A and B are shown apart, each in its own frame.
Chain A
């Protein structure tokens, strides 16, 4: 079974500090995509960052970066210079091909609190 595990149900960080959210996944495929989505209180899912498994270089988007360890099947998200607006649920997701279509498998999420 394809699974995504986020082992930290909740995390907190001080404003301007750095925090890392963990994610591990299970797959037998060699080519796939990984994503981090943010869900603020409005509940809309917003793409934060994505990583192609064939790329060794870790993806970066402004203050957000990932640490992708393919052999360990690990995909952690680092948020630098945390801001109050970063407070949200963060979901790790893995995209698989099934029946000729693409679907996302989500972890259960990590609730991030940013303290002023």
Chain B
């Protein structure tokens, strides 16, 4: 089946710890995106990548890092510099300039 997978579904982080969220797609999409969703808010863009080995900051990139070594994969690392990381994280992908499709999300909680 074609689609976007995210893992893990739930993730817990201790203070000062870096954690990595996985996003994989087998849709052959060029572009991939990471969004953050907080209660009562819409989605806000963290990072996006249009092609392999290239990515750009979104609106709230501070405290996050990404890599795009393969077309299918776009992992997001939440670093200890992110002071309020508890949120729901959604990954999306699209063909160039087309509709974005979303994965099932990862819920990150800071202990």
Assuming the contacts A35-B99, A44-B103, A44-B104, asked whether A103 and B45 have C-beta atoms less than 8 A apart, the reply is yes
| Total A-B pairs, Cβ < 8 A | 54
Q: A47: which of B56, B90, B101, B104 is its contact (CB, 8 Å)? A: B101
The 0/1 profile, CB within 8 Å of A marked 1, for residues 13-50 of chain B is: 00000000000000000010100000011111100101
Contact status A108-B40, CB under 8 Å: yes
How far does the Cβ of B105 sit from chain A's closest Cβ, in whole Å? 5
**Stretch touching chain B among A59-67, A68-76, A94-102:** A94-102
Q: Is the CB of A102 within 8 A of B42?
A: no
Q: Is B74's beta carbon under 8 Å from chain A?
A: no
By a CB distance below 8 angstroms, the chain B residues around A4 are: 42
Beyond A43-B107, A104-B45, A109-B42, list 9 extra A-B contacts (CB 8 Å): A43-B88, A44-B102, A101-B31, A101-B48, A104-B33, A106-B42, A106-B43, A107-B42, A109-B40
